[in-house]
Structure 1
Amino acid sequence: MRKALAEVGQTYDVVVLGAGAGGMSATVFAALEGMRVLLVERTEYLGGTTAFSAATTWIPLTRHSRAIGADDSREKVSGFLDRAVGNRSPKVLREAFLAAGPEVVETLENKTDVHFRPRPFHPDYLYELEGATSFGRALEPTPFEAGELGADLALIRPPIPEFTILGGMMIDRDDIGHLMKMGKSLKSAVYSARLIGRYYLGKMRHGRDPRLLMGNALIGRMLLTAKKLGVDILTETETTAFVTDKNGVTGVTLRQKGIDKRITVTGGVVLASGGFSRHPKMRTEKLPHPAPEFSPSAPGHTGALHDLAFAAGAHHGTTSAQPCFWAPVSHRRRPDGSMAVFPHFVFDRSKPGIISVGRDGRRFVNESTSYHQFVSAMYATNKDGSHVPTYLIADAKALKTYGMGMIRPGGANIKPYLADGYLTEGATLDELARKLGIDANGLKDSVSRMNAYAKTGVDADFARGTTVYEKANGDPTHGPNPTLGALETAPYYAVKLWPGDIGSAMGLVGDENTRLLREDGSVIEGLYACGNDLQSIMGGVYPGPGITVGPAIVFGAIAARHAAQRAAAARRGEAGQGEAA
């Protein structure tokens, strides 16, 4: 398992650089092929941004889809992606993903500790497109009691604190329902008491919550499998160079705490470092302006490996609709001085009584759209800084009912948020506009229009709440439209939203086996990429939940298997030479 650089071998069949979903998948699949595998992570934790996320995994046509009766087919999902993505990515790569995905999931569940479950309702984001489905394609990792990892539990990147309770307890949608009703239902009270008691006992024993959910669960399960398969793991280790010959990459040079070591690689090097978007130069050059100041993603994707890949002849794709996948974020300084960056995915933007406006006080987007499309609209309308930041506006009733950003439902104790400026309050819309520095007449007109739409259930401006996906993000108990509600209960509140990048969509160009390509189309032998290091098959479009994690896992498996074939061929060559000698 985890070793010091001086302790690892000189030669491996497969070296994986990066330990998010893609890197862990490549590691596990290479080990399943009987390869000698080295996993290298530059930070102190495994998991990358996957560990921060829900790790929803978009892989269509799996046995889970069949088990819950999804009406889906290869033709249907392929057509959906054609309509969503078009020529923004090569169709051959999308088809490779669709062909391999079901078997990859089956292998993980049959031969490793990784397990998924479907939800009976988890719609594609672009539900308006022909071929979209409301369930069956998006899977989620099953919870994982990780005590058997022992000391290696500490290797997993902890979740974002603002998504936990009680100082580190992870909760999912099943837990939330019981916790919200614990004072009203005996069943929920018992469930919650057991949950909280188990958390404190686990934290006392392991130093953190051993009940892993979502992204932590996926990474924990992959780590346990890697441990059983004898993978060597390095953390806090930088890749300083690729060793190359005239055909491609034959090794890597690593550095850990002042020690350098050269590793020979017989099968291949798999890049899985999370993309380029924290690279200081590329961030400025490739992201729209103003470049996002805040990102809720993990810190490891510095793009340093992309510089090395460029030196080996690789190049970035240029066809993506967006260079990154986006989410609107709010931010607040924590007591320890660190910055909390909170992604506004679905919990507030599309709830009744909440709207978003620009500096002119007017709505500019369907607030119920996906987080990626929301930020795309922020940039598309950002004339002279008019929509960066954007202002999320709620009345007192909506704030209390649904929360807003880091303020949880119930709206209790909002004074600290008001004191540090995270939340702005106005007794009237005029006062709120004045405090925010936005146009009061525009804001009042936007609220007036929304109040009228709340009565009819029809948003005449942006058609909010018309698709299955949009309605799912509203309040099912509210009508006539679950996403449209009046703002009429003073005081009024606002949280500033900024563009946040949650992963690169622009990446290194590869073929259907994830081998990286030169600009002339020739293969750089021995060099692979997966996850956000690989040019996204979604082309900078966000068709459904989990469209980063699903392809990362599948292409990680594809890369590992192809590299394993190269390593096996090299072994046969060595054996043949030995026999001849």
Structure 2
Amino acid sequence: MSGPATDALPATFDLETDVICVGAGAGGMSAALTASIEGLAAIIVEKTDKVGGSTAISGGAVWIPNTDRGTAAGHPDTLERAKLYLDRIVGNWSSDAMKLAYLEAGPKMLDYLERHTALRLAARAYSPDYYPDTEGASLGGRSMDPLAFDGRQLGAHFATLRDPLPEFTVLGGMMVTMTDVYHLLGVTRSLASWKHGMRLVARYAADRLRHHRGTRLVLGNALAARLYKSVLDRGIPVWLDSPAQRLLVEGGRVVGLVVAREGREVAIRARRGVVLATGGFPHDPERRAALLPHPAGPWSMAPAGNTGDGLRLGEAAGAVVRGANAANVFHAPISILTKPDGTVVRYPHLVWERAKPGLIAVNGAGRRFVNESTSYHEFGLAMHESHRSVPSIPVFLICDAVFLRRWGLGLVLPGGRPFRKLVKAGYLVEGRTLDDLARQLGLDGAALAETVASFNRSAREGRDAAFGKGGDAYNRYLGDPTIKDGNPCLGTVETAPFYAVRVYPGDIGTAGGVVTDENARVLDRDGGPIPGLYAVGNDMNSVMGGTYPGPGITLGPALTFGWLAGLHLARSP
């Protein structure tokens, strides 16, 4: 991999500070906030013109076991149980030292940041780990969500917070959670839902008189906003449009950074150190080709500015980028719409429709290949595994007219919203019959008919013997919440017309990254720390080793190791 080299020290520095954080996502802001709280001067330099990175466009879940919040939510936990679960899922893809550092520090980080900043998280009363039948798994309490945040508290800085994915909004800019969506779909059937929906819409209408989108922030946008508000409150400078160019090294120690700012290079001395938090390499074609299953494709939901800058900076200073993980990205199935102007819209099929009753996924042979309600990471892995023997890039999510009207499909919104434009654009494929649909998708009609018939028999029996859809607590958690008895993930595909979207093996970020120790210090090729250099977030090789134990296992470590980095910087000479 080519990249920027370290540079000779300039005759004079343009600025001196204690800590430079490269990247304004959860990891970078956590490190900067902690350093500032501990009495250090910190600065955040951000390549793009927005704050929040991939955090701001994420679902916002934060996975931290063994907290008092989890206990209050009805799920008392222990470090030993959480460690057992990680040992079973992560195994040797990550060291005991890294796993224990995360599990021990996570609850402390949460207490610390909630005490000193605007960070506020609420534990989910019910949210199973992704492998709920595994020893040590929990049915709730470990995954937490940021409390909703009023974007108006950011004042003029609201304009510099990265917008959420349009797919996480309705009405052109109103953010919604899954609970909000259920209420909006039920406004004509429930007084409580009507009141909830009307409050949302009224607030949004008022917001649009003054702002380009709604100011009721939820999900990852709320998390990014809460951290950003804390950064602003502490007076930590945030330089936007200021990409990092080179690390400055003296005697083997990282002592500063050169950034491009306002048309010139600016040299900043870091008395304590530099924290790499640039979001990994999801948009670095060279590294994707080297570290991802083929074909890698440009199928990532991460911000386009996440091009591996932190990894290249680290390598130039002697760091090692690890590619020997269970996976080097966090997989997710993604459908793609190309607009007439050439703009590409990517939709992540994460937790909404795949587990609902009446949807199947088939490969290029017209056969099912996966439990459709499994986690998005497992779904992506299954696509690549299927592709080894059968064309499975893309695969097809298929449903009938009843399903589409109720649940939607990808960019087709639920509740019977208009969708003809998506059919015309080729995103949504409509068939008068299953055979017609198969013909348009290039599938064998007889094979697809047989697959659907077999699935329908399983749906009527309430048990998917082939792939186990709806077979565990995590599956059922995402199924139809109105089905209390029976399998909430199984339903027939039988009412014409039939619909499909093409789905590709995308990702929501990278797992392979710079190797660090338990204090987020970057390690060199001999396994020793590079003085003055740290890596957090997706620049740091995942503590999960490329596995995906539960919702929030990227943001939990980003916040935690950012906190550990900030503390270590404060205690370093």
**Secondary structure of the equivalent of 1:205?**
coil
1:139 aligns with 2:153: no
Q: Assess if the C-alpha contact under 8 Å between 1:63 and 1:106 holds in 2.
A: no
Work out which of the residue numbers 17, 25, 49 in structure 1 matches 2:22: 17
Equivalent pair of 1:292/1:501 in contact (CA under 8 Å) = no
How many angstroms apart in 1 are the aligned matches of 2:211 and 2:406?
36
Aligned CA distance change for structure 1 residues 413 and 203 (closer, same or farther; 3 Å): closer
| Deviation for aligned residue 1:334 | 4.2
> SS at the partner of 1:500?
strand
Paired with 1:403 and 1:152, the residues of 2 have a C-alpha distance of 35
Determine whether 1:317 maps to 2:322: yes
User: Separation in 2 of the partners of 1:432 and 1:34?
Assistant: 64
Q: SS in structure 1 opposite 2:136?
A: coil
Instruction: Specify the SS of the correspondent of 1:216.
Output: helix
Instruction: Please give the alpha-carbon distance, in whole angstroms, between the structure 2 residues aligned to 1:539 and 1:364.
Output: 25
Match status 1:410 vs 2:415: yes
Matched, 1:532 2:538: yes
Aligned-residue sequence identity (percent) comes to 44
**Correspondent of 2:564 among 554, 558, 568:** 558
* Residue number in structure 2 paired with 1:92: 97
Corresponding residue of 2:258: 253
2:467 is aligned with 1:462: yes
Alpha carbons 2:242, 2:261 under 8 Å: kept: yes
Which of 528, 532, 545 is residue 522 of structure 1 equivalent to?
528
- Indicate the residue corresponding to 2:3 in structure 1: none
Given that residues 256 and 274 in structure 2 are in contact (C-alpha distance below 8 angstroms), is that contact kept between their aligned partners in structure 1? yes
Larger deviation, residues 83-92 vs 298-307: 298-307
What amino acid maps onto 1:44 in structure 2? D
Contact 2:339 2:425 in 1 (8 A): no
**Which of residues 107, 110, 118 is equivalent to 1:113?**
118
CA 1:403–1:289: 2 relative to 1, 3 Å: same
What do the CA deviations read for 1:442-463 (whole angstroms, capped 9, x no partner)? 2111111111111222211112
Q: Deviations for 1:478-504, whole angstroms, at most 9, x for unmatched residues?
A: 452111111111111110000112111
State the partner residue of 1:395. Answer: 400
Which residue of structure 2 lines up, in the alignment, with residue 365 of structure 1? 370
1:216-255 deviations in whole A, cap 9, x for unaligned?
A: 1111111111111110110111111000022221100010
Instruction: Tell me the residue number matched to 1:68.
Output: 73
Contact 1:92–1:512, Cα closer than 8 Å, also in 2 = yes
Cα distance between partner residues in 2 of 1:202 and 1:112? 26
Contact 1:55 1:141 in 2 (8 A): yes
C-alpha distance in 2 between matches for 1:470 and 1:195: 29
Q: Once the 2 structures are TM-superposed, how far is the Cα of residue 385 of structure 1 from its aligned partner?
A: 6.5
* 1:435-446 alignment runs, 5 A limit: 435-446=440-451
Provide the rounded CA distance (Å) in 2 between the counterparts of 1:483 and 1:207. 38
SS of corresponding position for 1:252:
strand
Please state whether the residue corresponding to 2:495 is helix, strand or coil: coil
Distance 1:135 1:242 in 2: 42
- C-alpha distance in structure 2 between counterparts of 1:390 and 1:540, whole Å: 23
Aligned position for 2:352: 347
CA–CA distance in structure 2, aligned partners of residues 198 and 476 of structure 1: 27
Task: For residues 457-476 of structure 1, give each alpha carbon's deviation from its aligned partner in whole angstroms, at most 9, with x where no partner exists.
Answer: 22111122111001111113
Query: CA contact under 8 A between 1:128 and 1:467: conserved in structure 2?
Result: yes
Q: 1:476 to 1:184 in 2, by over 3 A?
A: closer
Tell me the alpha carbon deviations over residues 171-210 of structure 1, each in whole angstroms, 9 at most, x when there is no partner.
Answer: 1133223322223334433332232122122232244322
Cα shift at 1:211:
1.4
CA contact (8 A) 1:21 1:50 kept: yes
* Partners of 1:19 and 1:39 within 8 A in 2: yes
Equivalent pairs, count: 560
- Match for residue 545 of structure 1 among 548, 551, 557: 551
Instruction: Show CA shifts across 1:322-374 (max 9, x none).
Output: 11001100111346642211000121112111100011000011111100010
Q: CA deviation at 1:9?
A: 6.3
Bigger mean CA offset, 477-486 vs 535-544 = 477-486
Three-state SS of the structure 2 residue aligned to 1:398 is helix
Indicate the SS of the match to 2:228: helix
Q: Scaled by the length of structure 2, what TM-score is found?
A: 0.95
Output one character per residue of 1:56-81: Cα deviation in whole Å (capped at 9) or x when no partner: 00011112112122132111000000
Q: Aligned pair 1:483/2:502, yes or no?
A: no
Would you say the 8 A contact 2:163–2:221 is kept in 1? Answer: yes
Work out whether residues 26 and 559 of structure 1, in 8 Å CA contact, stay in contact via their aligned partners in 2: yes
Distance 1:371 1:189 in 2: 32
Distance between the aligned counterparts of 1:512 and 1:545, measured in 2? 22
Contact 1:286/1:323 (<8 A) preserved:
yes
Deviation at 1:318, TM superposition (A): 3.4
**The residue matched to 1:204 in structure 2 has which SS?**
coil
Match of 1:218 in 2: 223
| CA positional deviation for 1:414 | 2.0
The unaligned stretches of length 5 or more in structure 2 are 1-12
> What is the TM-score when the length of structure 1 is the normalising length?
0.94
- The residue correspondences of 1:136-215 to structure 2 (distance < 5 A) are 136-215=141-220
CA RMSD of aligned residues (A): 1.5
